[in-house]
A and B are shown apart, each in its own frame.
Chain A
Amino acid sequence: MGIAARLANIQGKKMSDPFAITDCALIAIATGEKAQNIREMHNRLMRTYDDGVIYYHFWGGLLRPHFVDREYQNHFAGWAYHDLHDRRLAEKLSIINPAHYSSIEDLRQELIEVFEERMDEDDSASRAEAEHPFFFMRSQIVVFDTHLRVATPEELTGLIPDLSLGSLFYHFIDSRRRSPSGGDDFSEWLKSWGDQYQNLLDEILTIDPYFNSLIELREVLAAIFNSYLKIED
């Protein structure tokens, strides 16, 4: 599609504010706290009032060097499976969707609940020592404006394959903590165009971000945008 055709196409649509591409980088900090078994984990969680710790172990880790665990993406579930070898607990932890909780505090309470349930179910499980301890971490995140502005979803389509992983993290993962709806920034922006992009929006909502590395997530997102808003050369 040529520029004139694209402009004509855009002129026929409801316009929205430009989308500001933001980027971020994250650095991990060890808290010095660790847990060697379920009981210790429960005790630590009971007195973990730093939201940054829970944030890191559900979201922040995605932007850190790690081997992508295809099954147990939040760190609590991964630890239960790989280090405690407690499959039952790992399954229960793996199903926790952090975006479904209105606050980090609610999420912390849910974690405590799952660990308490497991201790009630099996006293010996609560004392089993993990192969490696769980190290509690938090992070500092540096957010910066790239000064890139995107006027239309079509323009965004061309940009997604080149987004940095920091930008992708900020707009697709970190947004779930920032946005009142618990959704991603792209979807929020598409909503502001009325129902013009409803099909695209619906498709984006089907992405489960927790089973992908950020690189794979970028590929999936690019493919979806491209299939709805294909820009021909």
Chain B
Amino acid sequence: MAGILNHYGPIVGANVIDHLRQLAEPLQGMKVVHVNSTREGGGVAEILHRLIPLKQELGLDASWEIVSGDSQFYQCTKKMHNALQGNRDGISDELLRHYEAANGDNFERLKDQLQEADIVFIHDPQPAPLLKYCQTRRGKWIWRCHIDASRPYRPVWKYLQNFITEYDASIYSLPAFAQPMPHPLYIIPPSIDPLSDKNIALDPTEIQEVCTGYGLDPERPIISQVSRFDRFKDPVGVIRAYRMAKAFGPPLQLVLAGGTAADDPEGEEVLAEVKSEAQDDPDVHVLLLPPDAHRTINAIQRLSTIVLQKSIKEGFGLTVTEALWKGKPVIGGDAGGIRLQVVNHQTGFLVNTAEGAALRIRYLLKHRDRLKEIGETARNFVLENYLLTRHIREYLTLMVAVVGNSADRIEL
């Protein structure tokens, strides 16, 4: 991995890389452990896959561990995820006890790393109780929430709060997601990696192969939504928007591409609903992709004329960032982190209904010059704000802040 950081220089500028190296100096040799619940599928795993090697290259002793469990554990954590997003569905005591016991088992397995770490980052609710079991911790523990927890279902949040209150700090993607806590509430939006298979520039022949392979017509406009088959992403609403827009004439094709993550037991159910809504329309392409189909997703986004992310609830919406980076206008649901990224008439459009999405699809297809301008603005916006290098900078800054003092201004 030596030297990988320098590969970002031509994209973001050599001064950005120098800046990171200097910021990392006071953190040399520090043991940093990240813990989440899956290595594949979903934005968190994708970020960690890149973040860890880069932290290592910057001189930190960074590692990544996962907690695992049986189907009841995932059933419980999925319910927690949904409840944090506002789903008013309680969790039985039995499931909660199972969840805590699974965390206890995971702690025993990870005890040495966690007790010795200078900083532990716990991602999302799945591993949140680990701290409760770590009685002799040495370092600072930080809970990283990737979920839109702005209006959580209170009984579930109160239960989780008991664990999270004990942390030294927590991190949220947006201020709206932050819940009051007796510790600092840091705000760090996530990022995309411009050198990953999902975002790197592709050879036109590779894009063409994906186009042909999935039976898409490159001569006709393609709209797409790439995301897990999850009700909060409203894939059925996307199909409805496609139908409404197509009824006005444009020879649209729709691609709904996604997979199911290992920690998401509802995925197949939602996929069945989507297929039913598609009604064998030959221009609706529902693609169930494996977790490592990054280059295929990259190609689909590049093939798209417009990208949709019509989420009703969204943590940050990295698929939006990916599309903007590829110069595509995004029509996004007015939710969570999509609001940070999609600025009306600048990088795309925020919508609240399938009808709104259809209207904006028609507008962009009719005004191709605006579509192009919006795409260019979108790419620059991501370049300046949402690439991995900015994300690492904020993590380093936070680490310097939490191990130093809590002053507003820290002079190294």
Question: Which residues of A pack against B, CB within 8 Å?
Answer: 23, 25-32, 34, 51-52, 65-67, 132-133, 135, 137-146, 162-166, 213, 215
Contact between B185 and A29 (Cβ–Cβ < 8 Å)? yes
- Assuming the contacts A25-B397, A143-B409, asked whether A67 and B187 have C-beta atoms less than 8 A apart, the reply is no
Contact between B408 and A65 (Cβ–Cβ < 8 Å)? no
Kindly state the separation between the CA atoms of A32 and B180 in the bound complex, as whole angstroms. Answer: 6
Kindly state the separation between the CA atoms of A163 and B172 in the bound complex, as whole angstroms. Answer: 29
Contact between B178 and A25 (Cβ–Cβ < 8 Å)? no
Q: Which chain A residues lie closer than 8 Å to B19 at the CB level?
A: 23, 25, 164, 166
0/1 string, B376-401, CB within 8 A of A gives 1: 00000100111000100110111011
The answer to whether B126 has its CB under 8 Å from any CB of chain A is no
Contact between B408 and A141 (Cβ–Cβ < 8 Å)? yes
Q: Which chain A residues lie closer than 8 Å to B347 at the CB level?
A: 67
Starting from the known contacts A25-B19, A132-B176, 9 additional A-B residue pairs (CB-CB under 8 Å) come to: A30-B172, A32-B178, A32-B181, A140-B397, A141-B409, A142-B400, A142-B410, A143-B409, A162-B15
The answer to whether B131 has its CB under 8 Å from any CB of chain A is no
Contact between A164 and B18 (Cβ–Cβ < 8 Å)? yes
Q: Which chain B residues lie closer than 8 Å to A26 at the CB level?
A: 397
Within 8 Å by CB of A65, from B15, B176, B343, B386, lies B386
Name the distance in Å between A220's Cβ and chain B's nearest Cβ.
Answer: 16
The answer to whether B188 has its CB under 8 Å from any CB of chain A is yes
Name the distance in Å between A50's Cβ and chain B's nearest Cβ.
Answer: 8
Q: Which chain A residues lie closer than 8 Å to B390 at the CB level?
A: 65
Within 8 Å by CB of B187, from A51, A137, A141, A145, lies A137
Contact between A25 and B23 (Cβ–Cβ < 8 Å)? yes
State the interface size on chain B (CB cutoff 8 A): 47
16 A-B pairs with CB atoms under 8 Å apart are A26-B397, A28-B186, A28-B187, A28-B188, A30-B185, A31-B185, A32-B178, A65-B390, A67-B343, A135-B178, A137-B175, A142-B401, A142-B404, A142-B410, A146-B18, A164-B18
Contact between B22 and A146 (Cβ–Cβ < 8 Å)? yes
The answer to whether B407 has its CB under 8 Å from any CB of chain A is yes
- Assuming the contacts A25-B393, A144-B23, asked whether A135 and B343 have C-beta atoms less than 8 A apart, the reply is no
Q: Which chain B residues lie closer than 8 Å to A138 at the CB level?
A: 408
Kindly state the separation between the CA atoms of A114 and B21 in the bound complex, as whole angstroms. Answer: 44
Contact between A143 and B412 (Cβ–Cβ < 8 Å)? yes
Chain A residue, CB-CB nearest to B383: A215
Name the distance in Å between A44's Cβ and chain B's nearest Cβ.
Answer: 14
Kindly state the separation between the CA atoms of A143 and B381 in the bound complex, as whole angstroms. Answer: 26
Q: Which chain A residues lie closer than 8 Å to B407 at the CB level?
A: 140
Interface hits, B18-65 → A, CB 8 Å: 18-19, 22-23, 25
Contact between A30 and B397 (Cβ–Cβ < 8 Å)? no
The answer to whether B14 has its CB under 8 Å from any CB of chain A is yes
The answer to whether B272 has its CB under 8 Å from any CB of chain A is no
Interface hits, B337-389 → A, CB 8 Å: 339-340, 343, 346-347, 381, 384-386
- Assuming the contacts A32-B180, A67-B381, asked whether A27 and B397 have C-beta atoms less than 8 A apart, the reply is yes
Contact between B385 and A65 (Cβ–Cβ < 8 Å)? yes
- Assuming the contacts A32-B178, A143-B410, asked whether A162 and B186 have C-beta atoms less than 8 A apart, the reply is no
Chain A residue, CB-CB nearest to B26: A144
Contact between A66 and B385 (Cβ–Cβ < 8 Å)? yes
Contact between A143 and B393 (Cβ–Cβ < 8 Å)? no
Contact between B410 and A140 (Cβ–Cβ < 8 Å)? yes
Interface hits, B144-198 → A, CB 8 Å: 172, 175-176, 178-181, 184-189
Contact between A29 and B409 (Cβ–Cβ < 8 Å)? no
Kindly state the separation between the CA atoms of A141 and B411 in the bound complex, as whole angstroms. Answer: 8
Contact between B398 and A27 (Cβ–Cβ < 8 Å)? yes
Chain A residue, CB-CB nearest to B23: A25
- Assuming the contacts A30-B172, A65-B340, A143-B412, asked whether A215 and B187 have C-beta atoms less than 8 A apart, the reply is no
Kindly state the separation between the CA atoms of A165 and B19 in the bound complex, as whole angstroms. Answer: 9
Chain A residue, CB-CB nearest to B181: A32
Contact between A52 and B408 (Cβ–Cβ < 8 Å)? yes
Chain B residue, CB-CB nearest to A52: B408
The answer to whether B16 has its CB under 8 Å from any CB of chain A is yes
Q: Which chain B residues lie closer than 8 Å to A51 at the CB level?
A: 408
> Which residue of A26, A32, A65, A144 has the most chain B CB atoms within 10 A of its CB atom?
A65
Q: Which chain B residues lie closer than 8 Å to A213 at the CB level?
A: 384
Chain A residue, CB-CB nearest to B184: A29
Contact between A145 and B412 (Cβ–Cβ < 8 Å)? yes
Q: Which chain B residues lie closer than 8 Å to A30 at the CB level?
A: 172, 175, 178, 185-187
Chain B residue, CB-CB nearest to A135: B175
Kindly state the separation between the CA atoms of A142 and B394 in the bound complex, as whole angstroms. Answer: 11
> Which residue of B14, B187, B385, B404 has the most chain A CB atoms within 10 A of its CB atom?
B187
Kindly state the separation between the CA atoms of A67 and B19 in the bound complex, as whole angstroms. Answer: 22
0/1 string, B229-241, CB within 8 A of A gives 1: 0000000000000
Q: Which chain B residues lie closer than 8 Å to A66 at the CB level?
A: 385
Kindly state the separation between the CA atoms of A132 and B350 in the bound complex, as whole angstroms. Answer: 14
Q: Which chain A residues lie closer than 8 Å to B404 at the CB level?
A: 142
Q: Which chain A residues lie closer than 8 Å to B381 at the CB level?
A: 67
Q: Which chain A residues lie closer than 8 Å to B186 at the CB level?
A: 27-30
Name the distance in Å between A36's Cβ and chain B's nearest Cβ.
Answer: 12
